[in-house]
């Protein structure tokens, strides 16, 4: 009786697991696959908001300032804790101002409109402490600003630039000393990108001038002369609120990702800025223009980076109240490969679409969209939409690795059900203690992981797959006739590294053998033979892995 009861429970558990959405369903449109992501509705904000900032700070989603219905400025903030939004007063409204995360975890907010309806510029600056949920003033800006941006250096210095219908320049904030002018700009900009390009330098650029005029490819340096980037003549950077700066789109080594549109046809893409080098990210497939029902996807302006998972996220929506998420897996591009693209969609619970940049990435990777202006496909002008704001809060989650639509997962579920029954029967007949049985199960699971891990290592080593410049984790999965996500989990959990790092370890080991056996080989040839995309990539990776340059390593072998 107990066995049949356990069998029924195991079947029910498997069925419910699938119904709860262990994975999203997939929809294919003209060869483009969209996976369904989950969406939940949090409690509404205390106030309708637009033109505000949403930041996740110490595990608490927090919204700042902006304006409410009627385009009236709002001078409060709210943070989400214990299932509700807690309201706190601010010093200034900062409607269309800037917000920048500081190295100590606090947030600096500055500038914004001086009056309702987004009119004028303001001086005010304040710093928010998420530990005490309080605001203090560090002084005022050197120039009144609206639609400005800011970025923070590790030493606490903050660089500010940008304006709207007023003069622009570059100023800096030094803790304890306040704000001061650094230099004039060669081109006046609104919502510029301010990206740290080395330990003491930053670059400033934008596609939009202070009166909405279209700008070309001129880039200002914080220190030194400006320079031209021809690529910016063909692509338009999608500027956003002042939270879109190097804090949000930094992927490492003074390298950043920016959402851009081609000026000729409006094609969405991603631009990579590494130091002072600009390029368009090479992707396996383009970012789609059309959604599930053929409706146009309005991709939002900003990108957020999940550095733990090595991907970038772009959020969009259509006129049928669907939201879309483009997840750009950029890790392979750091070694000369192509970025892969995963696409998700969600039907929203409420019949309301928020057309705003008021979203951020939570610590667990979920996306929270809190408030914003209402979207109307027939009335896209901000002058109209800014008068109608929302307090709705959506939270999106992808979790693609748990797809119930994936055949291998259904097979796995079947094995689990059958295996569960066998285990229960065995337990009834076995004289082993529960502790002994649990130990046996754990050992079997460990053995299975080890076997697959050995298969992965053996395949890479015997076929020298690491020497392929464009090797992908999907190639390994295909060779072993399994799922790429399962291989990724094995690599991450069992080997304790990323797939990219695993391949680079093999490449460095092979390169060391080449340099030992053939000391006359050039670094370029060694890089080529070992699978690196370039000599530069080889030198950078070798230094990171060994702590020495290839030349230094060869010299150390002679000692």
- 146 vs 20, 135, 364, CA distance in Å? 46, 20, 33
Model pLDDT for residues 185-198, shown as the tens digit of each residue: 999 999 999 999 99
- Find the DSSP H helices in 110-245: 231-234
pLDDT of the residue at 14: 36
Say which residues have a Cβ less than 8 Å from residue 496's Cβ, sequence separation at least 6: none
- 439 vs 3, 53, 270, 436, CA distance in Å? 21, 51, 49, 5
**Closest to 416 measured CA to CA, from 12, 1, 2, 4:** 12
For residues 380-403, give the mean pLDDT. Answer: 72
pLDDT of the residue at 110: 96
Say which residues have a Cβ less than 8 Å from residue 403's Cβ, sequence separation at least 6: 22, 23, 24, 26, 35, 409
| Residues of the chain above pLDDT 70, percent | 80
Asked if the model's pLDDT at residue 216 lies above 60, the reply is yes
* CATH superfamily placement of domain 26-398: Kelch-type beta propeller (2.120.10.80)
- What pLDDT band is residue 119 in, cutting at 50, 70 and 90? very high
Whether the CB-CB separation of 283 and 327 falls below 8 Å is answered with no
Say which residues have a Cβ less than 8 Å from residue 134's Cβ, sequence separation at least 6: 88, 128
Angle between helices 484-494 and 434-462 (to 10 degrees): 110
Say which residues have a Cβ less than 8 Å from residue 17's Cβ, sequence separation at least 6: 404, 413
Whether the CB-CB separation of 78 and 68 falls below 8 Å is answered with no
Q: What is the mean pLDDT of the chain?
A: 83
**Closest to 363 measured CA to CA, from 84, 56, 130, 99:** 56
Whether the CB-CB separation of 279 and 231 falls below 8 Å is answered with yes
Encoding tokens for residue 440? 């046996």
Q: State whether residue 319 is helix, strand or coil.
A: coil
- What pLDDT band is residue 17 in, cutting at 50, 70 and 90? very low
- What pLDDT band is residue 558 in, cutting at 50, 70 and 90? confident
Q: How many CB atoms lie within 10 A of CB 350?
A: 11
Asked if the model's pLDDT at residue 8 lies above 70, the reply is no
Whether the CB-CB separation of 31 and 49 falls below 8 Å is answered with no
Whether the CB-CB separation of 210 and 190 falls below 8 Å is answered with yes
DSSP 97-122: -EEEE-TTS-EEEE---SBGGGBS-E
* C-alpha 156, offset from chain centre: 24
Model pLDDT for residues 501-516, shown as the tens digit of each residue: 888 899 999 999 999 9
pLDDT of the residue at 533: 80
Length of the chain: 559
Model pLDDT for residues 434-483, shown as the tens digit of each residue: 556 555 545 555 555 677 778 888 888 888 988 987 787 777 877 777 76
Whether the CB-CB separation of 382 and 373 falls below 8 Å is answered with yes
CATH code that applies to domain 432-559: 1.10.10.60
Model pLDDT for residues 255-279, shown as the tens digit of each residue: 999 999 999 999 999 999 999 999 9
Encoding tokens for residue 479? 């060779």
295-309, 394-408, 472-486, range with the lowest pLDDT: 394-408
| Cα angle for residues 87, 88, 93 (degrees, 5° grid) | 105
Encoding tokens for residue 375? 């979207």
Beta strands 178-184; 169-174: pairing state: antiparallel
For residues 152-177, give the mean pLDDT. Answer: 95
Asked if the model's pLDDT at residue 432 lies above 90, the reply is no
For residues 381-407, give the mean pLDDT. Answer: 68
pLDDT of the residue at 230: 95
Handedness of CA 51, 54, 55, 60 (dihedral sign): positive
- What pLDDT band is residue 80 in, cutting at 50, 70 and 90? very high
146-150, 238-242, 282-286, 529-533, range with the lowest pLDDT: 238-242
DSSP 227-273: EE-THHHHEEE---STT-SHHHHEEETTEEEEEEEETTT--EEEEEE
Whether the CB-CB separation of 99 and 114 falls below 8 Å is answered with no
- Find the DSSP H helices in 463-534: 473-479, 484-494, 499-517, 523-530
Model pLDDT for residues 355-386, shown as the tens digit of each residue: 667 899 998 889 999 998 877 655 444 445 78
Q: Where are the domains of the chain?
A: 26-398, 432-559
């Amino acid at each position: 009786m107990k066995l049949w009861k356990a069998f029924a429970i195991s079947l029910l558990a498997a069925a419910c697991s699938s119904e709860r959405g262990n994975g999203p369903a997939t929809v294919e449109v003209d060869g483009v696959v969209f996976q369904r992501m989950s969406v939940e509705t949090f409690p509404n904000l205390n106030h309708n908001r637009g033109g505000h900032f949403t930041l996740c700070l110490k595990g608490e989603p927090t919204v700042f300032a902006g304006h409410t219905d009627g385009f009236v400025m709002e001078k409060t903030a709210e943070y989400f804790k214990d299932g509700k939004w807690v309201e706190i007063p601010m010093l200034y409204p900062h409607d269309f101002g800037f917000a920048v995360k500081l190295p100590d975890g606090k947030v600096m907010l500055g500038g914004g409109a001086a009056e309702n309806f987004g009119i004028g510029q303001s001086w005010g600056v304040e710093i928010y402490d998420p530990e005490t949920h309080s605001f203090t003033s560090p002084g005022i800006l050197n120039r009144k600003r609206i639609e400005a941006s800011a970025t923070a250096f590790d030493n606490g210095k903050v660089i500010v630039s940008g304006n709207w219908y007023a003069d622009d320049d570059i100023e800096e904030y030094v803790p304890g000393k306040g704000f001061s002018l650094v230099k004039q700009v060669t081109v006046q900009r609104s919502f510029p990108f301010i990206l740290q390009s080395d330990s003491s330098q930053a670059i400033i650029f934008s596609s939009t001038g202070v009166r909405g005029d279209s700008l070309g490819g001129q880039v200002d340096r914080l220190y030194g002369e400006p320079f031209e980037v021809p690529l910016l003549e063909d692509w338009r950077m999608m500027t956003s609120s002042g939270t879109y700066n190097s804090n949000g789109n930094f992927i490492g080594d003074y390298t950043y990702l920016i959402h851009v549109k081609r000026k000729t046809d409006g094609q969405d893409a991603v631009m990579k800025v590494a130091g002072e080098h600009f390029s368009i990210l090479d992707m396996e497939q383009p970012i789609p223009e059309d959604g599930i029902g053929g409706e146009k996807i309005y991709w939002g302006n900003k990108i957020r980076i999940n550095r733990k998972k090595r991907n970038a996220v772009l959020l969009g929506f259509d006129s049928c109240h669907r939201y879309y998420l483009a997840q750009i897996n950029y890790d392979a591009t750091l070694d000369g490969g192509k970025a892969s693209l995963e696409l998700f969609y969600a039907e929203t619970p409420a019949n309301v679409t928020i057309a705003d940049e008021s979203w951020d990435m939570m610590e667990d990777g979920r996306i929270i969209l809190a408030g914003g202006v209402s979207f109307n496909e027939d009335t896209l002008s901000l002058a109209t939409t800014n008068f109608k704001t929302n307090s709705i809060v959506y939270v999106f989650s992808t979790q693609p690795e748990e797809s119930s639509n994936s055949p291998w997962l259904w097979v796995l579920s079947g094995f689990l059900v059958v295996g569960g029954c066998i285990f229960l029967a065995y337990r009834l007949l076995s004289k082993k203690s529960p502790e002994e049985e649990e130990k046996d199960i754990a050992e079997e699971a460990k053995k299975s992981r080890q076997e697959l891990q050995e298969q992965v290592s053996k395949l890479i080593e015997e076929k020298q797959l690491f020497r392929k410049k464009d090797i992908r984790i999907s190639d390994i999965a295909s060779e072993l006739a399994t799922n790429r996500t399962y291989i990724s989990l094995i690599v991450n959990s069992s080997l304790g590294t990323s797939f990219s790092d695993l391949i680079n370890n093999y490449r460095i080991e092979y390169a060391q053998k080449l340099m030992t056996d053939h000391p006359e080989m050039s670094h370029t040839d060694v890089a080529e033979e070992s699978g690196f995309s370039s000599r530069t990539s080889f030198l950078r990776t070798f230094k990171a892995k060994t702590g020495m340059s290839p030349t230094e390593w060869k010299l150390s072998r002679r000692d």
